[in-house]
Amino acid sequence: MRVDAGRSSGLTLGIPSSMLVGLDPLIERAFNRAVKHLESAGISVRSVDLPIASVWTAVVSSVTMHAEGAVAHEQLVTGDPEEYGNDVLARLLSGLAISKSEYARAQTVRELIRNEVLSAMSGPTGVDAFIAPAVPDVAPFIQPGAFVPGDAPWHVGHSAFHLQRLPSLLGLPAGSGPVGWTPAGLPLPIQVFGRPWEDSKVLWMLGQAMDVIPSAERRTIASV
């Protein structure tokens, strides 16, 4: 795939810079290389301030996920809790402890986040989509016997997926893919997410960013 200069002209991608904290140097370098590749093809890339999203996305996402998961599993959790692993059961029980008013407040803030992000992609000065690393850390190898985060062989912090929370929380079209590889051959992924119903544009821009990988380094991913 090659960047279509005609199609890319006039497009602007936003970087939610305030959310990009604690990036592994390999992740950061691969992301910056992809950004420069897009800019060289005529796609503008600029930082976008999302003060509400950067502070509240993780909290609102956690409250929503735990509360809704607990409601869906309430009958089995209260009747046959032994059917769950300890890690999953702990999350579901914490969800049952969330009150209706706490859940409602989280949804109010969720709407504020949605308005902030959609406003940043609206009007003549808005960006067409957002681009960011998909994860802050490189993927760890999973050693034999490691089944859940927290087992020593994982060495993954709680921030392993926090960059993916925003598009998931808002239900926005998003895609991720590698823009490089670690020395161990593991992917260095980025993500692109955009306006509702603009899935094809999101995937097209993701493809242009992934084109930064030299042909000799590209790999075929077989579907199973």
pLDDT of residue 86: 83
Question: Domain for residue 177, yes or no?
Answer: yes
pLDDT of residue 88: 85
At 201, give phi and psi (nearest 5°). Answer: -65, -40
Per-residue pLDDT, 220: 55
For residue 155, what pLDDT is reported?
Answer: 40
Instruction: Tell whether 43 and 137 lie within a shared domain.
Output: yes
Terminal alpha carbon distance of the chain:
24
Range of the structural domain that residue 74 is part of:
55-115
- Model confidence pLDDT, tens digit, residues 170-190: 999 999 999 999 988 889 999
Question: Domain for residue 152, yes or no?
Answer: yes
- Shared domain for 89 and 138, answered yes or no, is no
Query: Other C-beta atoms within 10 Å of 75: how many?
Result: 9
According to the model, what pLDDT value does residue 31 have?
96
pLDDT at position 208 is 92
Please tell me whether residues 221 and 131 are part of one structural domain: yes
For residue 141, how far is the Cα from the chain centroid? 20
Q: Are residues 143 and 200 in the same domain?
A: yes
Q: Specify whether 107 is located in the same domain as 174.
A: no
Measured in residues, the chain has a length of 224
Cβ contacts of 103 within 8 Å, gap of 6 or more: 63, 64, 67
Assess whether 144 and 177 both reside in one domain: yes
What pLDDT does 152 receive?
45
Q: Count how many domains the chain has.
A: 2
Q: Is 1 part of any domain?
A: yes
pLDDT at 156: 38
Q: Do 201 and 148 reside in the same domain of the chain? A: yes
**Distance in angstroms (rounded) separating the CA atoms of residues 134 and 182:** 15
Among 74, 90, 115, the domain-final residue is: 115
Does residue 190 fall inside a structural domain? yes
CATH number at residue 5: 3.90.1300.10
> In tens digits, what is the pLDDT along the chain, a chain of 224 residues?
444 545 556 899 999 999 998 899 999 999 999 999 999 989 999 999 999 999 999 889 989 999 999 999 999 988 998 888 887 888 888 899 999 999 999 999 999 999 999 999 999 889 999 999 999 888 776 666 555 554 444 343 445 567 889 999 999 999 999 999 998 888 999 999 999 999 999 999 999 999 988 766 666 544 43
Is 120 part of a structural domain of the chain?
no
Same domain, 134 and 192: yes
Looking at residue 219, its pLDDT comes to: 63
Phi and psi angles of residue 166, each rounded to the nearest 5 degrees, phi first: -60, -55
* Unique residue bearing structure tokens 């910056």: 32
Residue 30 inside a domain? The answer is yes
- Do 206 and 158 share a domain, yes or no? yes
- Whether the model clears a pTM of 0.95, i.e. scores above it, the answer is no
Q: Which of 115, 137, 162 is where one domain is finished?
A: 115
Inside any domain, residue 13: yes
- Shared domain for 223 and 146, answered yes or no, is yes
Pair 111, 222 in one domain: no
